[in-house]
């Protein structure tokens, strides 16, 4: 099941984008909390900055109309803040796709490179890149790419750890915040677009055993199982870019 989030892209901020540091913060708030409030601590950890720096930036975002900040609760994005966050998320995920498909990057390396590039290109470049790539719906890790008009499909997915033995599921996306995890799963072809049969889900330690398309079984520890998000093969989902 999915629904569409529609944002008005006519705001002046869409044509006068904030600085790269402001963009990093609004994107971090969106990735951490979505429409809820992100705490100072969580944003500081995500961006590897001090809590004092985050507090100062939260105040600045509020002055700019990008966020609402409440002490001890954190910051939540305004409509303008969400527009800016999704603009950058779209750019980031398209760059990741380009790096993997055309420049030979591995799926565990595209995230950091896209972080460096997303503030260096224009919106026009982003849309030309989307045209060249054929307007993909997902990035290499399976995350949905926001459309140019600000729409984003929000899905109801579950992790492998939430499945039951006997189910056949399609891997839709994998968390991209650990290169080690991506490398491990990539070596075993447990990547978005591949289907697996769930053989065992152990309640005691969270280990999930799956059988891949070639009949090979893989036992995944609890942390790995939580990093893989799946959908029943009976449900439709647009194929993501398969990592090389």
Nearest Cα to Cα of residue 27 among 147, 120, 118: 118
Q: pLDDT > 70: what percent of the chain?
A: 88
Please tell me whether residues 110 and 206 are part of one structural domain.
no
Widest CA span of the chain, in angstroms?
A: 57
- CA-CA distance, 109 to 146, in Å (whole number)? 21
Task: Tell me how crowded residue 236 is: count the other CB atoms within 10 A of its CB.
Answer: 7
Residue 23 · residue 116 · CB < 8 Å: no
pLDDT (tens digit, 9 = 90+) per residue, 8-52?
A: 444 434 444 556 789 999 999 999 998 899 999 999 999 999 999
Residue 243 inside a domain? The answer is no
pLDDT of residue 1: 39
Domain range for 225: 158-232
Q: Which of 16-30, 50-64, 104-118 has the lowest mean pLDDT?
A: 16-30
Q: Are residues 149 and 193 in the same domain?
A: no
How many domains is the chain built from? 2
The answer as to whether 188 is a domain residue is yes
Task: Please check whether residues 129 and 188 belong to one and the same domain.
Answer: no
Please give the residue that has the higher pLDDT: either 238 or 67.
67
Same domain? For 207 and 95 the reply is: no
Note whether 19 and 117 are same-domain residues.
yes
Distance of CA 224 to CAs 61, 76, 156, 186, 228, Å? 35, 30, 19, 12, 7
Give me Rg for the CA atoms of the chain. 19
Q: What CATH number does residue 201 fall under?
A: 2.30.30.90
Whether 151 and 167 share a structural domain? no
């Amino acid at each position: 099941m999915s629904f569409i989030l529609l944002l008005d892209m006519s705001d002046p901020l869409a044509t006068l984008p904030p600085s790269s540091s402001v963009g990093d913060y609004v994107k971090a708030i969106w990735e951490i909390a979505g429409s809820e409030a992100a705490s100072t601590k969580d944003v500081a950890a995500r961006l590897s900055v001090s809590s004092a720096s985050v507090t100062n930036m939260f105040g600045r975002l509020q002055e700019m109309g990008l966020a609402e900040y409440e002490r001890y609760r954190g910051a939540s994005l305004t409509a303008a803040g969400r527009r800016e966050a999704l603009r950058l998320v779209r750019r980031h995920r398209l760059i990741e796709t380009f790096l993997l498909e055309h420049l030979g990057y591995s799926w565990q390396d595209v995230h950091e490179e896209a972080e460096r590039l997303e503030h260096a290109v224009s919106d026009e470049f982003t849309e030309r890149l989307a045209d060249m790539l054929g307007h993909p719906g997902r990035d290499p890790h399976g995350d949905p790419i926001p459309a140019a008009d600000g729409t984003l499909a929000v899905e109801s997915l579950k992790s492998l750890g939430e499945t039951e033995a006997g189910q056949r599921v399609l891997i839709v996306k994998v968390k991209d915040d650990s290169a080690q995890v991506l490398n491990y799963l990539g070596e075993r072809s447990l990547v978005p677009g591949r289907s697996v049969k769930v053989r065992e889900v152990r309640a005691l330690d969270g280990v999930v055993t799956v059988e891949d398309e070639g009949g090979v079984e893989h036992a995944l520890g609890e942390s790995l199982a939580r990093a893989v998000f799946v959908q029943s093969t009976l449900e439709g989902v647009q194929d993501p870019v398969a990592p090389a």
